[in-house]
Amino acid sequence: MVIEIDFNSDEALYLQLRNQIIMGIAADRFREGDSLPSVRQMAESVGINMHTVNKAYTVLKQEGYVKVDRRRGAVVAVDADRLKTWEEIRRQLKVILAESSCKNISKEEIHQLVEEIYEDYR
Amino acid sequence: MVIEIDFNSDEALYLQLRNQIIMGIAADRFREGDSLPSVRQMAESVGINMHTVNKAYTVLKQEGYVKVDRRRGAVVAVDADRLKTWEEIRRQLKVILAESSCKNISKEEIHQLVEEIYEDYR
DNA sequence: TGATTGTTATATTTATATTATAACAGGCCC
DNA sequence: GGGCCTGTTATAATATAAATATAACAATCA
């Protein structure tokens, strides 16, 4: 899977990595049971430190996106506990919708944008 | 306006403040032309440092939510440049939808959540 | 005049992010 | 066994950002 890190972004490297992996799972580029590249492999291929990758993987594990197998490394295994996710999603959406609302982006445009993004995940 | 800062949150204080003010504008608790409390007033009422408030106000100014009047302080004045906002909204939504999709939250549930949040902003 | 406004400057402390080097235990393969 | 690969842990150093503290300045207004 192609992962691109923007070193000029204000977003932390490990978060960029985390986000791209989650988007990769959503887009089915990573499937249940697939192994992620080892921390060392990923670090080299992306051009960042091993510990930064390790932090991303650790976060992904804590959030229930991967499980770690001693021999196979980080394996995609989504633990679908909606409840923990739900409030967090709601909290973030609330801020985004406030921003867009202030900037005259209509509710309908948001719905359309959601549709658009879901198209890309297909 | 009631602003509540969560000191246990991992979110930066100035960002919590920024977000709540933007949500306040969206919810019409702050209206076009209203003055925000002075940096010193807000700092004291919320229990944080003046410079932390100043940073939040500066960000809000740069993002086009307030303008600063020498005598009236920070005044709500939303500069509706949709273009700058649009890509940022899209970028954030993409991550959120990936997360929810992985966690078996359906597209329809997202649409419903959007409706729900817009209800609160009414 | 006196109080309040945003703004700027400087300094310190604290927390987080990132990199670096190194080691350990477990599994796998030749 | 001997390497080679896993994740994991420890420790340290560096860099950046967040938060607080104290202080001053010019402009505004009652």
Question: What is the C-alpha end-to-end distance of chain A, expressed in Å?
Answer: 16
The Cα–Cα gap between A17 and A46 comes to 9
Query: Nearest residue of B to residue A77 by CA position?
Result: B102
Whether B78 contacts chain A with CB within 8 A: yes
Q: Which of A10, A91, A93, A119 is the best residue to mutate to test the B interface, defined by the most B CB atoms within 10 Å of its own CB? A: A93
Q: What is the pLDDT of residue B81?
A: 77
Residue of B78, B82, B102 with shortest CB distance to A78: B102
Cα B13–Cα B96–Cα A82 angle in degrees, nearest 5: 100
Q: Token pair for residue A25?
A: 């799972």
pLDDT at A1: 72
pLDDT in tens, chain A (122 residues): 789 999 999 999 999 999 999 999 999 999 999 999 999 999 999 999 999 999 999 999 999 999 988 778 889 999 877 777 899 999 999 999 999 999 999 999 999 999 999 998 87
Which residues in chain B are closer than 8 Å to A120, comparing Cβ atoms? 94
CA angle A13, A19, A23 (to 5 degrees): 145
Residue B82's pLDDT is 74
Chain B residues in contact with A23 by the CB 8 A cut-off are: 94-95, 98
**What pLDDT is stored for residue B27 in this prediction?**
94
pLDDT on residue A40: 93
Q: What is the pLDDT of residues B35-85, one digit of tens each?
A: 999 999 999 999 999 999 999 999 999 999 999 887 788 899 998 777 778
Q: How do residues B76-95 score in pLDDT, each as one tens digit?
A: 999 877 777 899 999 999 99
- Between B11 and A81, the more confident residue is B11
* DSSP of A48-100: S-HHHHHHHHHHHHHTTSEEEETTTEEEE-----HHHHHHHHHHHHHHHHHHH
Query: Which residue in chain A has the smallest CA separation from B91?
Result: A117
Position B109: which residue type? E
Q: Is A122 on the interface with B (CB under 8 A)?
A: no
- Mean pLDDT for chain B overall: 92
Which residue matches tokens 């902003």?
A: B121
pLDDT of residue A80: 79
Contact yes or no for A26 and B98 at CB 8 A: yes
Q: Which residues is B76 bridged to in the sheet?
A: B66
Q: Is the pTM of this model over 0.85?
A: yes
Environment class of A70 (CB within 10 Å of its CB; exposed 0-12, middle 13-18, buried 19+): exposed
Give chain A's domains with CATH numbers: 13-76 (1.10.10.10), 82-120 (no CATH)
| Number of neighbouring beta carbons within 10 Å of residue A27 | 14
